[in-house]
Each structure stands twice: as structure tokens, then as C-alpha cells.
Amino acid sequence: MTAVRPSAAPPSAVEAVPGPTPRRVRPPRWLDLRLVLGVLLVLGSVLLGARVVGAADATVPVWAVTGDLAAGTELSADDLVAVDVRLDDTAAAYLATSTRPEGRTLARAVREGELLPRTALEQDDELVQLALPVQSGYVPPGLRRGQLVDVYAVADPTAGATAVADGSVTLVVRRAPVQALSGRSEGVLSTPTTAVQVVVAVAADDAADVLAAIAGRPLVVVVHGSVDGDEVEAGTVGSRASAGTGAPSADTAPSAPVGPAG
């Protein structure tokens, strides 16, 4: 039996299948457009965030006062404290810490914690400091620098003058700021007759009249309850003067000056 071999297909019958076309791999480029846009977007976000944070913390250092101070008080370093606040367009109205207001006189009263405005230092009147010797029994215990006080001269009890009508009580200083206080002793050695030096600011033209009105008489200090001078602290002339002998009572204290006033 004869084996039959399959006949080979002619070469034209087998079609060649084309393969994929190879593509050349390009090296990465640093100036790719998408990379540049991404970097610019990140930088823009950082700059915008920094600007927002900076605007939220746009504070300036200015001076504030550490306590209530009456008009006419001469500022010292202890009266001022630097604070950082955000003032925007109003920053020019307040004193920056680059200025030195020590030694300047207040033209109006300021409150504790209040920012110090430039207008508060526009003092027109010429003031002088007048040191008054006052017995400690005639000085309110809470008297401190910057408060507003009235000073009365009372008659010597040995002269026999005990009534307001005969000039035994004279208002010699009205609404004067206390510039300094020295000589006070709170210890066991303190006595009602211990001399306390109370320094007040008065107009230069009135200093001579104040000294003439005092004329060596004992002095009594009355403290206003407000640095604006609207109220007077409890503890009037009578209650303070009662510590001495023959001094007027609270009922005889004058409500208006009866002699030369500063």
C-alpha cells in the first residue's frame, strides 16, 4: 500500500503577518509643560497662604499705659508697656514703641490698658511740680501716683479757728495729678504726724498763689474716685482731718473753694 504524502502549499498561499512597529523610547524632559504647570501651581499656593497668614498677623508694637493716669501726669517708664496690636489704617494715631514719651505730660486722662494716643500728649498749659509736706494721717492710705487730688489747708487749732466761715479750711489745689509720693512708712514706726511728701502738678502761674494760701498751715489730701475728676473718694476732709486736733468735721468741709485755688 502506497503512502500518500500531503502536498506542500505553494509559497504564495502563506501570507506574512506584519508585526508591531517598534517605537523609540524618549528620555524625560525637565521642561515638560505639565511639570512646569504643576510647579507653578504649588508655588502660587504657598505664596498665597503666606500672604494670608501674614495679613492675619499684621500687628504693630505701640505703647499702652499700666494704670489710670490723670491729665497733667508726667509719664515715666513705669507707666508704659509695649503691646502688639492690629490697628490697620489707625496705627498712625497711636505712639509706636520707636518713640520715647517719658517726660511728656498727659493732656487728658487715660485708663489702665488704654493705648496711648498721640493727642493725649498735646499739653498746652505750662505745668510745674510742687512738693507739699502732708502729715501721713491726712493722706488717704490708697494714694498713688497718677491719681487726681484736691488739697485743703486747715487752720492751726491753737489759733481758735474751727469753722469754714472764718477761713479755717481753704481749697489751695484743685484737681491736680499726683506726680510722686515719698516718705510714707507702713511699718510700726509710722505715726499720724510723719511727714509725707506729695508732689502735684499745678499751672506755673498758680504756684505762688498756692504757696501763699498754704502759709505753713496743715494740709489735707482728698482723692477723686476717678482720674477724670467726676467723683471724690470716700474719706473726705473731715474724716482725714479728724485724726488731728480741732480740725473741721465732714459737715463743715467746703463744697467750693473759699480761698485762693491752684
Residue-wise pLDDT for 205-225, tens only, equals: 889 999 988 888 889 999 988
- Higher-pLDDT residue of 237, 70: 70
Kindly report, residue by residue over 107-166, the tens digit of the pLDDT. 888 999 899 988 888 665 688 889 999 988 889 888 888 899 999 998 866 555 444 455
Mean pLDDT of 248-253: 36
What is the structure's pLDDT at 252? 36
* Confidence label for 17 from pLDDT (cuts 50, 70 and 90): low
Output the CA–CA distances (angstroms, integers) from residue 88 to 57, 84, 93, 99, in the order listed: 11, 12, 11, 19
Tell which CATH architecture fits domain 60-121.
Alpha-Beta Complex (3.90)
Is the overall model pTM greater than 0.85, yes or no?
A: no
Query: In 3D, which of 7, 27, 76, 253 has the Cα closest to residue 150?
Result: 253
pLDDT at 56: 61
In DSSP terms, which residues pair with 222 in a beta bridge? Answer: 150
CB 240 within 8 A of CB 221: yes
Domain-wise residue ranges, the chain: 60-121, 127-252
Distance of CA 152 to the CA centre of its chain: 31
